[in-house]
């Protein structure tokens, strides 16, 4: 029925790529019904569900987590608004930004998942292949295109790779999940901690410049973690797709399909030895290059992004700069290589954001960002780029109104915490809440202001698997259960010295700290560092020297750190300290309880 009542559409940039397929929603709804009627076996239903981006939920078959893929983290205003609506309609009124640039909706009734998919198609988003044994969200540094250390913008290559593999028959039944990470530069990336990591490089031969990548293979975090190996000095851009296909084909052919706990590609590389694997990749690539049809190419859209010249109607008059602005500016903004422009990073708590905040973010992208959209980052964060310097104070005021102006995003005061016992079947502890508690404490103590801590990180997983990426943290934790006679208490294994930059290494285990002693233990490490450091030391460099045997301070070794922290491991009796035996966010006494994991499904 036609109506005189029509609301004008909001302006703003709209997505360039439609990742969605409408028929998948309908198919999902039908399949759920068949599963409920017992016409589909649970195992095949689980595979199907994961392939479509719906993950299981802690201790129940009634709910799912829907993981929405954002290739290169790009998210447009209308997509943010859609997610806001979907989080209220079908989830808990908040959404979660993951460490792999996805946005997740938790505690969705399984029967409603298809409705979410249907709505996502209206804004060009998909959850397809966000879980399961497929090529997962293709990541790209959120600073790609604006980073002053990058050689060129890798974003179009990340997007093209995502486009090529999404729904590609090559990647529908891999032995296990498979991850691509593009970066801008060494510092902002995570290229050695993934199946395929890529750093853009420009080579010049005979005066001609050529684009290409440094490619790292076989890295990854998990129950057993490995650092990736560099394939060759330089991989020219025309070999990018051939190399990707070659690696995927080898993994598909030789990857372990039986031992589910050991079937990521890094185990294959480890078993075979790097040199043999490297040779295999180079040979396979030659075959791929010779046999692929010429029409199989990456669809790389290198047209420069449209940067609008935003004219602010009511610009800041410079008189009323809100309190806290300079603190926020120091620790949440990044000066772009494009003069006069900044990228800003939001300090979320463990990646959680409310529906109303998502809506505000959409408006902020429209009003303040010259590129007109946002990008999710690697640390459960969101970046808005292309902000004019003169707009920063006004933008800060807007963020304040929305509760999005917490300082510290680009510092140690922004810990990562996996979902833990809030929703994950495998979790042993509430790592998610612990990350929030640490952040609140750090901001209270203004530790985000401390330059010595700036380049350090805290990352927490709720179990020995590494969704919280604890092994690449300066201070990392993974959860477990401790026991005092008959009583259990939550405890974390502490590791230190992990990093994911050019000198990537895994953290070294120190000792187990009870959950309720984690915050004082972190503060004790910082206190020791402060007393001990040489003038140029940061916490990160001080720890690095200790664990690599090059300490020039009083703290010489892991054993010394352990000694300092031992008092925190003392276990009180349950009558003396009941709180010790309860995890964060839960008053009742602690028991480890896990369901079946789906990582390996």
Partner 1 sequence: MNTKPIIDADSLRSLLRDNSVRVIDVRRKEDYKKDHIPKSVNLPLADLLSDDNPERVLKMVQSLGIDDQTPVVAYDDTFGALASRVAWTLQYLGHGDVSLLEMTYGQWKSLGLETDAGEPSIGTKTHSMTLKPEIMATADYLEKAKENKNVTVIDNRERLNYLEQHIPGSINIPYRTLASEDKILRPKDELKRLLQNRGISDNVEVITYCGSVGTLSGLAYYALKSIDHQNVKLYVRSFKEWKNLNKPIVKQENADYWDLSAE
Interacting residues with partner 1 (CB under 8 A): 1, 3-7, 29, 32-33, 36, 57-60, 81, 85, 88-94, 96, 106-107, 109, 111-112, 114-115, 348-349, 352-354, 357, 419-423, 430, 432-433, 436, 583-586, 593
Task: Indicate the pairing of strand 94-97 with strand 103-109.
Answer: antiparallel
Calculate ∠ Cα 385-351-120, nearest 5°: 75
Question: Largest Cα–Cα distance of the chain, in whole Å?
Answer: 79
Tell the burial category of 55 from Cβ atoms under 10 Å away from its Cβ (0-12, 13-18, 19+): buried
368/346 Cα distance (integer angstroms): 14
* 246: its two tokens: 């070659």
129/113 Cα distance (integer angstroms): 15
576/427 Cα distance (integer angstroms): 27
The string of DSSP letters for 18-73 reads: ----HHHHHHHHHHHHHHHTT-S-HHHHHHHHHHTTEEEETTEEEEEEEEEB-GGG
Nearest to 196 by CA among 214, 212, 173, 172: 214
Shortest Cβ 182–partner 1 spacing (Å): 28
Q: Which helix (H) or strand (E) holds 433?
A: helix 431-444
H helix runs in 339-452, sequence order: 355-368, 392-401, 431-444
**Closest to partner 1 by CB, 30 or 578:** 30
335 CA to centre of own chain: 22
DSSP state of 35: H
- At residue 470, φ and ψ (nearest 5 deg) are -60, -25
435/441 Cα distance (integer angstroms): 10
Sign of CA dihedral 404, 405, 406, 408: positive
Strand order in the sheet with 341-346: 74-75, 374-376, 382-388, 341-346, 333-335
576/218 Cα distance (integer angstroms): 49
* 35: its two tokens: 């599963």
Q: What percentage of the chain's residues is helix, strand, coil (to nearest 5)? A: 35, 20, 45
**Closest to partner 1 by CB, 33 or 534:** 33
**Closest to partner 1 by CB, 380 or 388:** 380
């Amino acid at each position: 029925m036609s109506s005189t009542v029509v609301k004008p559409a909001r302006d703003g940039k709209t997505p360039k790529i439609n990742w969605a397929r409408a028929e998948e929603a309908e198919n999902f709804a039908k399949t759920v019904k068949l599963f409920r009627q017992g016409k589909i076996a649970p195992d095949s239903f689980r595979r199907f569900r994961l392939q479509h981006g719906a993950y299981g939920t802690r201790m129940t078959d009634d709910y799912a987590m829907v993981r929405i893929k954002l290739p290169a983290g790009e998210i447009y205003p209308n997509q943010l608004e859609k997610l806001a609506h979907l989080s209220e309609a079908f989830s808990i009124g908040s959404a979660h930004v993951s460490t792999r640039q996805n946005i997740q909706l938790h505690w969705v009734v399984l029967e409603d998942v298809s409705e979410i998919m249907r709505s996502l198609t209206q804004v060009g988003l998909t959850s397809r292949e966000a879980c399961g044994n497929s090529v997962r969200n293709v990541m790209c540094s959120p600073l790609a295109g604006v980073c002053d250390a990058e050689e060129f913008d890798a974003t179009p290559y990340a997007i093209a790779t995502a486009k090529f593999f999404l729904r590609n028959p090559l990647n529908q039944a891999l032995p296990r999940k498979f991850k691509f990470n593009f970066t801008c530069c060494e510092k902002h990336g995570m290229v050695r901690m993934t199946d395929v990591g890529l750093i853009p490089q420009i080579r010049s031969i005979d005066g001609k410049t050529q684009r290409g990548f440094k490619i790292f293979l076989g890295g990854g975090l998990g129950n057993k973690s490995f650092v990736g190996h560099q394939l060759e000095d330089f991989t020219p851009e025309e070999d990018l797709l051939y190399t990707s296909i070659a690696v995927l084909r080898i993994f598909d052919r030789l990857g372990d399909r039986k031992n589910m706990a050991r079937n990521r590609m890094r185990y294959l590389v480890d078993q075979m030895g790097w040199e043999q694997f490297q040779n295999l990749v180079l040979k396979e690539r030659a075959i791929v290059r010779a046999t692929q049809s010429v029409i199989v190419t990456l669809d790389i859209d290198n047209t420069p992004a449209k940067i609008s010249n935003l004219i602010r109607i009511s610009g800041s008059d410079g008189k009323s700069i809100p309190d806290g602005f300079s603190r926020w500016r120091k620790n949440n903004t990044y000066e772009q290589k494009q003069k006069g422009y900044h990228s800003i990073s939001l300090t979320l708590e463990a990646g959680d954001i409310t529906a109303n905040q998502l809506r505000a973010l959409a408006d902020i992208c429209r009003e303040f960002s010259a590129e007109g959209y946002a990008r999710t980052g690697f640390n459960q964060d969101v970046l808005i780029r292309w902000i004019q310097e003169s707009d920063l104070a006004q933008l800060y005021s807007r963020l304040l109104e929305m509760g999005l102006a917490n300082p510290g995003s680009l510092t140690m005061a922004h810990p990562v915490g996996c979902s833990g016992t809030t929703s994950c079947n495998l979790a042993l502890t509430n790592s998610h809440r612990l990350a929030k508690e640490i952040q609140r404490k750090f901001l209270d103590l203004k530790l985000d202001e401390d330059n010595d801590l700036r380049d350090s990180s805290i990352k927490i997983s709720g179990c020995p698997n590494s969704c919280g990426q604890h092994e690449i943290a300066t201070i990392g934790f993974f959860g477990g259960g401790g026991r005092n006679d008959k009583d259990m208490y939550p405890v974390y294994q502490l590791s230190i010295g992990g990093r994911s930059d050019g000198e990537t290494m895994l953290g070294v285990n120190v000792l187990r700290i009870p959950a309720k002693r984690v915050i004082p233990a972190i503060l004790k490490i910082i206190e020791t560092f402060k007393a001990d450091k040489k003038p140029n030391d940061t916490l990160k460099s001080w720890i690095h020297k200790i664990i690599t045997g090059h300490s020039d301070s009083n703290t010489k070794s892991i054993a010394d750190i352990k000694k300092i922290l031992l008092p925190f491991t003392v276990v009180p009796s349950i009558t003396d300290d009941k709180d010790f035996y309860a995890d964060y966010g839960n008053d009742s006494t602690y028991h480890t309880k896990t369901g079946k994991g789906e990582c390996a499904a």
